[in-house]
Chain A
Amino acid sequence: MSENSRRGFFRELASVVASARATAEPTAPPPPPPDFTDAEIERYSRQLVLPEWGAAAQLAVSEASVIVIGAGALGAPVALYLAGAGVGRIGIVDDDAVELSNLHRQLLHFTPDIGAPKAESAAAKLRYLNPDVVVEPYRMRVDGGNAAALIEGQDLVVDCSDSFATRYAINAACCAARIPLVEAGVLGMAGLVMSIKPGRTACYRCAFPVEPVDAPRCADAGVLGPAAGVIGSLQALEALKLLTGVAPTIADGFLQVDLATAEFLRVRASRRSDCSDCGALR
């Protein structure tokens, strides 16, 4: 039994005991949260010390299961920060192999990894970073046919893919399954980030109803490493906020980031009743 599932077991037990007590003695205080090990307290001390964070937030991330789609320029900072923060289980999805041209921006892959599957290369580094996290690599390309099965049962999906078709497929699957989603994209020296709570806030298709035709891809337009790092880091922050509720997210709209001019613009978007992905959700 892993540390995480063990903790989950004790938490369930505590909850059962609490409800039994609550029946017999309505004024009984809630049970204390389970103990963290000394190593956990030290590893997470710089987030535990934050006024907004605490045992409850740490427990929430440690019990969370998150899928990161893409192990590239956005997926690298996202997966690194989520593993560092102590997210219990991280699935990392990518069907590509590491190329020399990836290394200037994809922080999880190093020169000796060239030719290795990105999902495996990423998983190995994440396990080094935090052995307490369960990391599951998936060598596959996400599309409309497999997205629903991939995200089933997840607490959160972070979309770090590099194509519009994948992004719309993931948005549709997350809406159908009501799984929170963090969307992002980066190109050149600009990008955007958006958090989505299906049925409650605007989804990606609400904000961008028409799928772009012949949109430039990174391979055509290029991207600076730190620009992707900024957008991916914002995505990771949104993910931690969604998992814990410690701060408001970039919901009902998106954050447009121009890193050439260092301008951040919050763009509002509303749910659309005619949205084919989330319009029917209540």
Chain B
Amino acid sequence: MPARTLDITALTCPMTWVRTKLELERMAGGEALEVRCSPGEALEQVPRSAREAGHAVTVEGTTIRIVRA
């Protein structure tokens, strides 16, 4: 099954994590979300927030892959 995708390139903190969090809350455990974001703050903050919330996170370039806990 292809991963869900979310584009937060146009957003700034904290809306980047708000949108990501709401999308994750719509998903089942084990489901993956690919978040496209801009370099900089979002690329640092969103993976950190996702890990703190207990999700598995990998980052490739400006794409953050989050597997929902």
Binding site for B on A (CB under 8 A): 29, 32-33, 36, 41-42, 45-46, 48-49, 51, 54-56
Contact = CB atoms under 8 A, between A and B. Distances in A.
A166 B44 CA distance: 54
A41 B28 contact: no
Contacts of B27: 32
Contacts of B22: 36, 41, 48, 54-55
B25 A33 contact: yes
A32 to B, nearest CB: 4
A4 to B, nearest CB: 19
A48 B27 CA distance: 17
A33 B26 contact: yes
Nearest first, the 7 A-B pairs at minimum CB distance are A32-B26, A29-B28, A49-B14, A55-B25, A45-B18, A49-B18, A48-B18
Interface string B11-55: 000110111011001111000000000000000000000001100
A104 B29 CA distance: 51
Contacts of A42: 15
Given A32-B25, A41-B18, A48-B21, 11 more contacts: A29-B28, A41-B15, A48-B22, A49-B14, A49-B17, A49-B18, A49-B21, A54-B21, A54-B25, A55-B22, A55-B26
15 contacts: A32-B25, A33-B26, A36-B22, A41-B15, A41-B22, A42-B15, A45-B14, A45-B15, A46-B14, A48-B21, A48-B22, A54-B21, A54-B22, A55-B22, A55-B25
A17 B13 CA distance: 36
Contacts of B52: 51
Nearest to A41: B18
A41 B21 contact: no
Contacts of A33: 25-26
Nearest to A45: B18
A51 B48 CA distance: 13
Contacts of B21: 48-49, 54
Contacts of B53: 51
Nearest to B31: A29
A49 B28 CA distance: 20
Contacts of B17: 49
A41 B21 CA distance: 11
A55 B19 CA distance: 11
Among B15, B17, B21, B22, chain A packs the most CB atoms within 10 A around the CB of B22
A137 to B, nearest CB: 33
Contacts of B28: 29
Contacts of B18: 41, 45, 48-49
Contacts of A55: 22, 25-26
A51 B53 CA distance: 7
Nearest to B19: A41
Contacts of A29: 28
Contacts of A49: 14, 17-18, 21
B3 to A, nearest CB: 16
Contacts of B19: 41
Contacts of B26: 32-33, 55
